[in-house]
Amino acid sequence: MKFSIGGSLKVAFRPWVEGLENIPAEGPAILASNHLSFSDSFFLPAVLDRKVTFIAKAEYFTSPGVKGKLTAAFFKGVGQLPVDRSGARGAGEAAIKAGIDVIKGGGLFGIYPEGTRSPDGRLYRGKPGGLARVALATGAPVIPVAMIDTEKIQPPGKVVPKLMRPGIRIGKPLDFSRYHGMDGDRFILRSVTDEVMYEIMKLSGQEYVDIYATAAKRQIADAEKAAKAEKAELEKAEKAAQAGKAERSGA
């Protein structure tokens, strides 16, 4: 996959990279990145010599038919691990276990602390579960990563990407060994997560919003729904006014 998909991405999009020396040549580490586009999980591994393992929803691996099998093969090939997302807590625990297994195997574990793609290009509050718990349970260093302009290449809902150069900034490893074994303390988890998000913000230059991206998506959806309802009411009133005018003209 690195030679086929990764090589093609590098030739076609020519991503620029800063801080590549911060990725260890061997040994475990956690890559914590902002999340702007579906393509983030492909551009980052493409520029690294080592394999990066991300987690993905289990549906990508269990869909029926030929298309389902091809999709499963693709996600396995690019280093994705299936996680059953049925039940919020179950999904979180599965993600944590997957991350710990990758770290114990000496690999690079990729995770998006925001939990979902940014709906508007801004950086949102990191979720304190997966990232911090994996870091504190394993003692692995956390390397902040900033994806730049990938949302412009493939915005949500767009299938065909736009040819332009994305950027990747890789920060210096963060050591949280002082909190090792304290993964049950929610205040420590919050502190670790916020520190990582601050470093990602500095690398990316994004505006930071202190709410979860999932909440922002709900707000945006609610606003769009309200706008559509208001538009429908205006159209209804306009039609009623036109009908009244026509009726008066006929009289």
Number of domains within the chain: 2
Residues 164 and 234 in one domain: no
Q: Do 58 and 123 share a structural domain?
A: yes
What's the pLDDT at 126? 95
CB burial class (10 A; 0-12, 13-18, 19+) of residue 98? buried
pLDDT of residue 143: 98
CATH of the domain at 72: 3.40.1130.10
pLDDT of residue 64: 80
User: 78 and 121: one domain?
Assistant: yes
| pLDDT on residue 41 | 85
Lowest mean pLDDT among 55-69, 102-116, 186-200: 55-69
Q: Tens of pLDDT along 224-238?
A: 888 888 888 888 888
Q: What is the DSSP string of 175-236?
A: P-GGGTT-TT-HHHHHHHHHHHHHHHHHHH-PPEESS-HHHHHHHHHHHHHHHHHHHHHHHH
Domain hosting 245: range is 211-250
Instruction: Please tell me whether residues 149 and 233 are part of one structural domain.
Output: no
179 and 238, same domain (yes or no)? no
**Do residues 120 and 25 share a domain?**
yes
Q: Say if residue 220's pLDDT is above 70.
A: yes
Whether residues 184 and 225 share a domain: the answer is no
- Predicted confidence (pLDDT) at residue 85 exceeds the cutoff of 60: no
pLDDT at 89: 53
> Is 104 in the same domain as 122?
yes
In a shared domain, residues 89 and 189: yes
Q: pLDDT tens across 6-50, in order?
A: 788 888 999 999 999 999 999 999 999 999 988 898 899 999 999
DSSP state of 64: -
> Among the residues of the chain, which ranges form H helices?
7-13, 40-47, 59-62, 65-77, 88-104, 130-138, 150-153, 186-204, 213-250
- This prediction has a pTM of 0.84
C-alpha–C-alpha distance, residues 31 and 92, integer Å: 18
* Rounded alpha-carbon distances, angstroms, from residue 235 to 76, 227, 242: 50, 12, 10
- The torsion defined by the Cα of 203, 204, 207 and 213, in degrees rounded to 10, comes to -110
CB atoms within 10 A of CB 192: 25
Same domain, 64 and 132: yes
Radius of gyration of the chain (CA): 22
**Residue for token digits 């601050």?**
198
